[in-house]
Chains A and B, each alone.
Chain A
């Protein structure tokens, strides 16, 4: 009886809190479809009179958003794939191969993952200039492949450390070499973890700001995050522009979220507590 009385207020309180979390998304969506005149007349809280799409269109063309999306996809996708491959190779040696001093090797990767990018950014900027890679998407792909692979190595090593040895022994007796065992047995069996890593690396790289901001200065190379962040930082946008920018920045994240929701929530728990 008492618990029935108590659980509805709890639910209502939680719903209000949840609403508060998504209100920013709602008002951004609401205002992205208003004309500047309507916005300045009725303010941000009114419902739009009709669907005004020119604000979004203007902004899309002004920042060449298609190009930004392509850049972000290319960089995040590249990093996800390369970082997973690198993580698999590392984790195979550490988790399955149990090489000598593996604890130290693993500690090396974990520590490298914890180094703040602030302590790497200037030398990376300088070295990439020396190597002729400055302001290329490739430079960002290389750097984030390594940074993400540090986490991937750590997570996959702990998963592969518990890989059933019998399967590997059986394949060995059948004459498979290490390379074959890795790609035909270990990788397929570890597919769930690898999937989580792919999603994480993609989204993390998509959201990165500091290093891409420093490394990608030309318009043609910038990612979505950097292009929007720089515009906002310069305060060149009026309120309707800002809204269009916000909505176009939110949308891809929303799509990833809806597509990968289960992977994300499962993965974050695995990743943090393992």
Chain B
């Protein structure tokens, strides 16, 4: 991301001949931003990290306990379960939407766009994107009602088509709840990759496809060998963003299941929230969120690296 900016900057450097106007007086414009950042983000972040080394309960003065919280985390099965559920969320919010979004975007672009016009494409794209503009709390309300055990739409639907035996307590059964939440998250997330990929596809030179088609390559082959490599930067962006979003998922879990039943859908974000505000073990909650932060920053760096490399390869 930074690289794009740098490129723009360095390519237009020659106007340096203004000795009377020192460039750095622009730094004044940065002052409000940097101050606000220190107060709202940097200081709280450092406080949180600091508190994670204490056994603070939210009142009184925190007492230093070194790595005790982190050691406790290692033995905490609830903590490990929450991170295991995070992996499921990565599948539901990053892997599946990216894969399905790619196929949908390419199909919309190759078939619908070419033969049925851009209006049709816009309508279909809007349908897929719609859940993305919904507040996650509202999406949670909608789905918890659809998935309700008695009188829920899904169970009623199953009954109506004669599949009563498939009826479930979708969010209340510990064996199914996590998969139900995953299903909801796929629905929520799908529109994001779709829109990004459709924008990316417009960059791909149509002649590549035409040449391949003349050579007798079918749709899947062209998809695999032309479309995919061409929009690799977009794929990395989407995977990075969605994986981070998956690690942070909170609202959906809060509204759909409150982490239950019996911790079956607990995730680190919700786990740290309850540890902070319900158990008031602030030090321990801070340790959980610090681990989460480290993971997210690492992932961001990896994503950024991959993206930069893909862009460079594409540029050369």
Contact = CB atoms under 8 A, between A and B. Distances in A.
Contacts of A232: 137, 140-141, 144, 255
Interface in B135-185: 135-138, 140-146, 148, 151-153, 156-157, 160
A214 B191 CA distance: 29
B207 interface: no
Given A89-B29, A232-B144, A257-B130, A116 B136 contact: no
A162 B9 CA distance: 7
B29 A103 contact: no
A24 B36 CA distance: 41
A182 B276 CA distance: 44
B129 to A, nearest CB: 7
A273 B234 contact: yes
A120 B44 contact: yes
A156 B184 CA distance: 34
B149 to A, nearest CB: 12
B23 interface: yes
Contact of A165 (B12, B30, B115, B200): B12
A245 to B, nearest CB: 6
Contact of A44 (B104, B151, B195): B151
Contact of A229 (B151, B254, B268): B254
B247 to A, nearest CB: 7
Given A99-B27, A106-B2, A122 B41 contact: no
Contacts of A169: 15
B2 A239 contact: no
B301 to A, nearest CB: 9
Interface string B279-292: 00010011011101
A272 B196 contact: yes
A33 B136 CA distance: 23
A203 B133 contact: yes
Contact of B30 (A94, A111, A243, A254): A94
Given A21-B187, A24-B146, A161-B8, A112 B37 contact: yes
B208 interface: no
Interface stretch (B72-80, B90-98, B119-127): B119-127
B169 to A, nearest CB: 14
B289 A44 contact: no
Contacts of A121: 273, 276, 289
Contact of A100 (B24, B111, B238): B24
Nearest to B299: A114
Name, among B37, B126, B157, B286, the residue most crowded by chain A CB atoms within 10 Å (CB to CB). Answer: B37
B135 A10 contact: no
B48 A86 contact: no
Contacts of A10: 107, 111-112
B58 to A, nearest CB: 8
A209 B250 contact: yes
Contacts, number: 318
Contact of B36 (A19, A86, A224, A242): A86
A158 B234 CA distance: 17
B153 A44 contact: yes
A221 interface: no
Q: How large is the interface on A (under 10, 10 to 19, 20 to 34, 35 or more residues)?
A: 35 or more
B289 A22 contact: no
A53 interface: no
B276 A122 contact: yes
A45 B23 contact: no
A269 B199 contact: yes
Interface in A91-119: 92-100, 102-103, 105-112, 114-119
Given A21-B131, A123-B47, A228 B33 contact: no
Interface in A201-232: 203, 206-207, 209-210, 213-214, 224-226, 228-229, 232
Given A232-B141, A232-B255, A111 B33 contact: no
B138 A225 contact: yes
A117 B233 CA distance: 27
Interface in B26-57: 26-30, 32-34, 36-37, 39-45, 47-49, 51
Contacts of A89: 29-30, 32-33
Interface string A43-57: 111000000000000
The list of the 4 closest CB pairs from A to B, nearest first, reads A97-B26, A269-B199, A249-B138, A229-B137
20 contacts: A7-B116, A10-B107, A92-B29, A100-B27, A103-B2, A115-B45, A115-B296, A120-B44, A121-B276, A122-B51, A123-B43, A127-B43, A153-B33, A203-B133, A209-B135, A225-B137, A249-B137, A250-B142, A261-B126, A269-B198
